[in-house]
Amino acid sequence: MAENVGQTNRPVADLPSWPEQKIRGHKLEGHRYTSKDFAEQEWSHVWTKVWLLLGAENEMPNPGDWQQEEVGRESILMVRQDDGAIKAYYNVCQHRGQRLVSEEKGHARRFICPYHSWAWTRDGQLDFVQDADDFPQGTPCGKLTLKEVRCETFAGFVWINMNPDCVTLKEYLGPVWDDWSVYRIDQWKRYVAKTTVAPCNWKVVMDNFNESYHVNTVHKPKGANVEKLRIHSGVDTSYKTTRFDMADEGHGRMIMLGGYAGPATDKDGAIGEPLADILRDWDLDPEDYRGRGEDTREALQQARRRLGPGRGYAYFNELNDSQLTDAYHYTLFPNFAVSLWVDGFHFLRARPHPTDPEQCIFDNFWYAPDPDGVTEPVRTTAGLVERGTEIEHEVFSLGEKSMGLTIDQDLTIFPGQQRAMSSSGYQGSYLAGQESRVSRLHELIDDFIEESR
Ligand code: FES
Ligand SMILES: [Fe+2]
C-alpha cells in the first residue's frame, strides 16, 4: 500500500495561473448554428486542423485490437500495432473507397475490405488483392497504403489530428497536460457510456458546458430556493466563488468549490444526500456536521488526504487540497468538456453531424479509478454503478433512455435554442462575464477560419 507521504497543502490559489485572455465579445448570431456554409468552413479550417479525443487505449489492449469513431463526414480507424503503439487511419479502402470497418471495435489480423476483399495489414500495408495479375499498371500490393492520420495517446485516450503538419499533442493541450497527468486517468475505467444524436448544432452543447450560468435555472431541484441552490449537490456554482481560467491554447478551466452542504441540509441543519453518503465513505459522520455544513469541505479534504493513499488512491498525494473536493471543469477546444473530480472523469463530447449543422453526436461517459479493495459503488452522473461492472456502450435516440439526470436537464434546453437560432427574432447573443469561455470558443473558431484565408 502506498504511504501518505505527500501532506501537501496547496489551496486553489496556488495552482499556476493561466494567462489573461482578451475577449473580443462579438455577437454570436444564429447562422453560426444553422448555416451549411459555416459548418463547411468549420470542417475545413477547424475539425481537420485540431487534435481530437477519440478512442480509449484500454478498449484495444492487444495487437490487432481496433476501434472506429466518426467525426463529421470522416471515420477514423485506430489500431493497436504489434509493437504496442497505436496507429490511426482514415477508414477507407484505397481500391474504390469502401469503408473497411463498420462496427465500433473489434480484433483483426488483417482488415479485409467487404467489397472486393483487398487485405490491409494492421500497419496499413496492402498485402493481398484478388486477381493481382489483372492490373495493367502493376499489382497495387506494396504500392498502396491506408492513409494515416496523426495519432498520439494521453490520459488513456487516443487523440488524432487530420492535419499532418500539426503541433504535438502536448503543445496543443498546454497547461491541461500537467493538470491531468497527476491523476493517472489512463488507469481509470469507463463506468457509463451513453451516446445520442442531439437535435442541435455541436456548439449549442459546447456553449452550455462552457458556462455555469444556466445551473440555477436548468438544474434547479424542485422547490429549492435559488440562493440556496448555489451550493446544490455539494458544489458551489456561484460565479463569485468560481475560478475561471483560459489557456493560450484555447482551453478553459473552471473550478467550483465542492464538499459544500448548503441546500443539501434540511431545516434542522442535517446534511443531505449525496454529501452525507460521501462523508460516510470517508469515515465521517454527517451528524457531526449538523448545523455546520460549511465545515464539510475541509473535513473531507483531510479525510481523503489521510485515508486515500492507504485505500489505493496513491495519486491523492499529488493533488492539492482543492483537488480533493472541488469540481475541475475543463473545456478542450473545440469539442470536449470534462468535469474532473478527485475520483471521477465526467466525459462530455459533441461531434459534428456528417451533413446537418442542426444535429450533433453527443457522448456522455464516466471514468473512475478502480483501486484494489474499494467496493463502494461508483458515483456517476447516471447514478450509482456497481464496481467491476462491464458496461456496454449504449447508443440511442434522444429521449429513448436517460443520459443521467443533469444531462437530461441540459438536453431539454438544446432543441428549443436550436430552433430559435433560425428565427428572424434572434438578434445575437448578449453575454455575461461568466460566459467569457463561450465567447472564446467562438472567437477561436473564427481565428482558425480567418488564418486559413
Ligand atoms: S473497395 Fe475495397 S476492395 Fe474494392
Ligand atoms: Fe448543465
Examine the domain organization and report whether 383 and 444 are in the same domain. yes
Indicate which atom in ligand 1 lies nearest the CA of residue 97. Answer: 1
Q: Where are the beta strands (DSSP E) in 72-223?
A: 74-80, 86-90, 105-107, 110-112, 119-121, 126-128, 148-154, 157-161, 189-198
Ligand 1 centroid vs 92 CA: distance in angstroms?
A: 9
Examine the domain organization and report whether 352 and 419 are in the same domain. yes
Ligand 2 centroid vs 434 CA: distance in angstroms?
A: 14
| 275 in any annotated domain | no
Query: According to the model, what pLDDT value does residue 216 have?
Result: 82
| 444 in any annotated domain | yes
Q: Of the residues 100, 122, 157, which one is the last residue of a structural domain?
A: 157
Examine the domain organization and report whether 209 and 74 are in the same domain. no
| 140 in any annotated domain | yes
| 108 in any annotated domain | yes
Q: Which of 91, 92, 98, 128 to mutate to test the pocket of ligand 1 (most atoms within 8 A of CB)?
A: 98
DSSP 38-67: HHHHHIIIIITTSEEEEEEGGG--STTEEE
Ligand 1 centroid vs 44 CA: distance in angstroms?
A: 27
Cα distance between residue 329 and residue 346, in whole Å:
9
**Which CATH number fits the domain that encloses residue 121?**
2.102.10.10
Report whether 47 contacts 70 (CB < 8 A): no
Examine the domain organization and report whether 190 and 333 are in the same domain. yes
Ligand 2 centroid vs 108 CA: distance in angstroms?
A: 40
Cα distance between residue 78 and residue 276, in whole Å:
43
Query: According to the model, what pLDDT value does residue 260 have?
Result: 61
Neighbour count for residue 303 (Cβ, 10 Å): 18
Q: Which of 94, 96, 141 to mutate to test the pocket of ligand 1 (most atoms within 8 A of CB)?
A: 96
Ligand 1 centroid vs 113 CA: distance in angstroms?
A: 5
- In sequence order, which residues have a C-beta less than 8 Å from that of residue 32 and are 6 or more positions away? 38, 201, 203, 421, 442
Examine the domain organization and report whether 370 and 420 are in the same domain. yes
Query: According to the model, what pLDDT value does residue 4 have?
Result: 31
| 44 in any annotated domain | no
Cα–Cα separations (whole angstroms), residue 442 to 23, 28, 70: 10, 8, 23
**Which CATH number fits the domain that encloses residue 216?**
3.90.380.10
Examine the domain organization and report whether 242 and 367 are in the same domain. yes
Examine the domain organization and report whether 345 and 390 are in the same domain. yes
Indicate which atom in ligand 1 lies nearest the CA of residue 117. Answer: 3
Examine the domain organization and report whether 417 and 347 are in the same domain. yes
Query: According to the model, what pLDDT value does residue 52 have?
Result: 98
Examine the domain organization and report whether 93 and 235 are in the same domain. no
For residue 190, what is its C-alpha cell?
469507463
CA nearest ligand 1 atom 1, residue: 96
Indicate which atom in ligand 1 lies nearest the CA of residue 93. Answer: 2
Query: According to the model, what pLDDT value does residue 264 have?
Result: 60
Ligand 2 centroid vs 435 CA: distance in angstroms?
A: 13
Examine the domain organization and report whether 186 and 243 are in the same domain. yes
- Identify the nearest ligand to the CA of 128 by its number: 1
Q: Give kind and range of the element (H or E) at residue 409.
A: helix 405-420
Query: According to the model, what pLDDT value does residue 13 have?
Result: 46
Q: Of the residues 157, 173, 208, which one is the last residue of a structural domain?
A: 157
**How many domains, in total, are found in the chain?**
2
Quick one: DSSP state of residue 414? Answer: H
| 374 in any annotated domain | yes
Q: Of the residues 122, 157, 192, which one is the last residue of a structural domain?
A: 157
* Range of the structural domain that residue 132 is part of: 51-157
Query: According to the model, what pLDDT value does residue 93 have?
Result: 98
| 147 in any annotated domain | yes
Examine the domain organization and report whether 208 and 237 are in the same domain. yes
CA nearest ligand 1 atom 4, residue: 116
The label of the residue with cell 431545516 reads 267
| 45 in any annotated domain | no
Examine the domain organization and report whether 333 and 250 are in the same domain. yes
Query: According to the model, what pLDDT value does residue 21 have?
Result: 85
Residues of the chain with pLDDT under 50: 1-11, 13, 224-232
Query: According to the model, what pLDDT value does residue 11 have?
Result: 41
Ligand 1: residues within 6 Å at CB?
Answer: 93, 95-96, 98, 113, 115-116, 118
